[in-house]
Amino acid sequence: MTHAGWNAAARSRDDPSGAITATVVMAGVVAIPFVIWLGLPPVSALPWLCLGTAVNLISLRLLMTTYRTMPFAMGYPIFRGSIPLAIVAMNFVFLPEQVPHSFGLIGIILISAGVMLLARSGRKIENIGMKPLLLAISGGFFAGAYVLTDVMGIHASGNAIVYGLAAAMINSISMPIVLKLEGMPVGAMLRKNLAFGTLAGIVSMISYGFFLYSLTYGPVGPVSAIRETSVIFALLIAVVTLKERVGPMRWLACALGFTGAALLRLY
């Protein structure tokens, strides 16, 4: 709910890219007092922090493009729906002991099928081309890679919250630098969205903290797939708040997502 909430709020802004940038930056600012209190992760976690920052920046840049080129009720489901399948595919290579079986695998497939069905219905209604779709799916795959770096970083640091706070600070420093190198008016973006970024940054940190904590107690694939039920909340937000069009196919997609989540709970 928290993840869908701050993303929907960012998408509703006049400048979604600036809103996302301000959210990432202010999340790092919010993390500072907690880092002072709890400390930094050990040096062994540094490679994963650096790698995670790199893939997260790519993912966020693709998310910005997604929100510029398609409605929230379409872009968010495609982006998020690609993540569980990406994680399962990467698990076969990097974390074979966490590859789900039976109910878990079926649940992941159903959740991904549900969110992709949302995307397909959106493409029919909004007449979106293939290039934005491929960019959104690519962003989801990079976001999946970011999840795996989080898992490895948590293992290396021994504390999910400490690792997450450090990751938020590094992302908040690196993202404005990258955008500045691209020639974007970072200062103006932050000034325009400062109040929004502060509130959204707090919500995004809460969302991220919940997720990292979950990763310490459950297998990566199912935990990540359950997180992607955020698309169901996103659909409700799109209907009620953003006034976007939603048809029967999208509600069917939500039913698939709920079924997948229930099967994951049995797993």
CA neighbours closer than 13 Å in the CB half-sphere of residue 81? 29
DSSP per residue over 60-97, as a string? HHHHHHHHHHS-HHHHHHHHHHHHHHHHHHHHHHH-GG
The most confident of the ranges 83-92, 178-187, 238-247 is: 178-187
**Mean pLDDT over residues 55-59, rounded?**
92
Stated as kind and residue range, the H or E segment containing 216 is none
Q: Which residue has the tokens 């909340």?
A: 233
Per-residue pLDDT, 259 = 77
**Mean pLDDT over residues 192-211, rounded?**
91
Whether pLDDT at 174 is above 60 = yes
For residue 22, give every residue at least 6 positions away whose Cβ sits within 8 Å of its Cβ, in sequence order, or none.
189, 190, 192, 193, 194, 196, 197, 198, 200, 201
**Mean pLDDT over residues 86-98, rounded?**
67
The lowest-confidence range among 37-51, 109-123, 124-138 is 109-123
The lowest-confidence range among 41-55, 182-196, 197-211, 253-267 is 253-267
**Mean pLDDT over residues 42-47, rounded?**
92
Whether pLDDT at 263 is above 80 = no
Per-residue pLDDT, 240 = 76
Per-residue pLDDT, 42 = 93
Whether pLDDT at 226 is above 80 = no
Tell me the three state secondary structure of residue 197: helix
**Mean pLDDT over residues 75-101, rounded?**
71
Rounded Cα distance between 73 and 214, Å, is 26
**Mean pLDDT over residues 77-104, rounded?**
70
Confidence of residue 111 (pLDDT cuts 50, 70, 90): confident
**Mean pLDDT over residues 259-266, rounded?**
68
Instruction: Judge contact between 51 and 173, C-beta under 8 A.
Output: no
Confidence of residue 83 (pLDDT cuts 50, 70, 90): confident
Confidence of residue 123 (pLDDT cuts 50, 70, 90): low
Q: Is 71 exposed, middle or buried (0-12, 13-18, 19+ CB in 10 A)?
A: middle
The lowest-confidence range among 10-24, 49-63, 83-97 is 83-97
Per-residue pLDDT, 168 = 93
Confidence of residue 230 (pLDDT cuts 50, 70, 90): confident
* Closest residue by Cα to residue 168 from 220, 121, 204, 137: 204
- Look up the pTM and report it: 0.78
Q: Which residue has the tokens 């399962």?
A: 88
Instruction: Judge contact between 220 and 267, C-beta under 8 A.
Output: no
Torsion of CA 4, 170, 65, 59, to 10 degrees: -80
Name the DSSP class of 45: G
Whether pLDDT at 82 is above 70 = yes
Mean pLDDT, the chain, as a whole number? 82
